[in-house]
Amino acid sequence: MRIGLTVLTDLPWREAAPRWRAAEAMGFAHAWTYDHLVWGGLPDAPWRAAVPTLGAVAATTSRIRLGTLVASPNFRHPYQLFREAQALEDVSDGRLLLGLGTGGDLDSRLLAQPEMTVRERVDRFQEDVDLLVRLRSEDHVDADGRWFSVRDARTLPGLDRTPLLVAGNGPRSVRYAARVADGWVTTGPSTGTVEEWLDGLAASSRVLDDALEGRVLPRYVLLDSAGTLFGGAGRMSLSSVEFFTDLVGRVGELGFTDAITHWPRPEAPYAADERVLEQVAALLPTL
């Protein structure tokens, strides 16, 4: 099991930079941030863009892998994202993990985009990823889509070292990830208890297994989705060392290869004690 750590972009760089460097020093396998214009969990807080932040992190670290949770088509064309990912792949020397998802609809509303149904948002996301896959494997790309088009899109210098990690919770999205992705990302279902959340993860894992037909795919789970967000009934994964290690063990039994927690905050969301993070870090070799 590889363990990752998410660092939000609400803090200024002078305060956030030590956290990113500490994530690497403590031995975490990967570090992530959210890719939004404004995040719904802290809608009134300061917020900073993910791509330049990850560029700065890449320039000040050397080992830890860096990822987006998740880049969405809500405010960025896939060709633009492709170019940004190329830059991050280069600056990080191949350490980028490009997490992709439909994203929430707050960013779309901020840009005064037309309202879309959930089905339309998933349709748009899959068109977005399909074009990214083509850009990664072709040059001089032409595409005419419902939402995204390109004409003679050049793709040099390529994007050969960056896996596309597709997020999905529902059966349709999970099957799509099995078809096109280099890895599957999930938050699990929105439920009131950890047990219900684990049951939902198990059901989604079975859908993935059926779709993969024996193939192997890395599986990333966000641990703090277990009913913890915005006053939910669950607990933040780092509420205690015992709870964290138990949760990691149980998602590992479901076949997940990677688990992601959050840098503790003094208040919700993700409220926990940083001392627990340090104690968990000491256990990483055993996890």
Q: Given a cut of 60, is residue 230 above it in pLDDT?
A: no
Q: Which residues of 95-126 are buried (b: 16+ CB within 10 A; e: fewer)?
A: bbbbbbbbbbbebbeeeeeeebeeeebbebbb
Q: Given a cut of 60, is residue 209 above it in pLDDT?
A: yes
- Mean pLDDT along residues 215-243: 79
- Mean pLDDT along residues 190-204: 89
Lowest mean pLDDT among 155-164, 220-229, 272-281: 220-229
Q: Which two tokens stand for residue 39?
A: 């995040």
Q: What is the pLDDT of residue 191?
A: 78
The candidate with the shortest Cα–Cα distance to 31, out of 58, 11, 49, is: 58
Query: Per residue in 117-137, pLDDT tens?
Result: 999 999 999 999 999 999 999
Q: Given a cut of 50, is residue 229 above it in pLDDT?
A: no
Query: Per residue in 86-111, pLDDT tens?
Result: 999 999 999 999 999 999 899 999 99
Q: What is the pLDDT of residue 234?
A: 54
Q: Given a cut of 80, is residue 26 above it in pLDDT?
A: yes
Please give the model's pTM, rounded to 2 decimal places: 0.96
Q: For residue 65, which phi and psi values (nearest 5 degrees)?
A: -80, 150
Q: Given a cut of 90, is residue 192 above it in pLDDT?
A: no
What distances in angstroms separate CA 145 from CA 62, 122, 181, 199, 236, one per listed residue?
39, 14, 20, 37, 40
Q: Given a cut of 60, is residue 232 above it in pLDDT?
A: no
Q: Given a cut of 80, is residue 263 above it in pLDDT?
A: yes
Distance separating alpha carbons of residues 101 and 170, to the nearest angstrom: 12
Q: What is the pLDDT of residue 194?
A: 87
End-to-end CA separation in angstroms for the chain: 6
Sign of CA dihedral 42, 105, 238, 20: negative
Q: What is the pLDDT of residue 231?
A: 42
Q: What is the pLDDT of residue 180?
A: 98
Q: What is the pLDDT of residue 233?
A: 46
Q: Given a cut of 60, is residue 252 above it in pLDDT?
A: yes
The residue behind tokens 């460097």 is 21
Q: What angle do CA 270, 252, 125 make, to 5 degrees?
A: 65
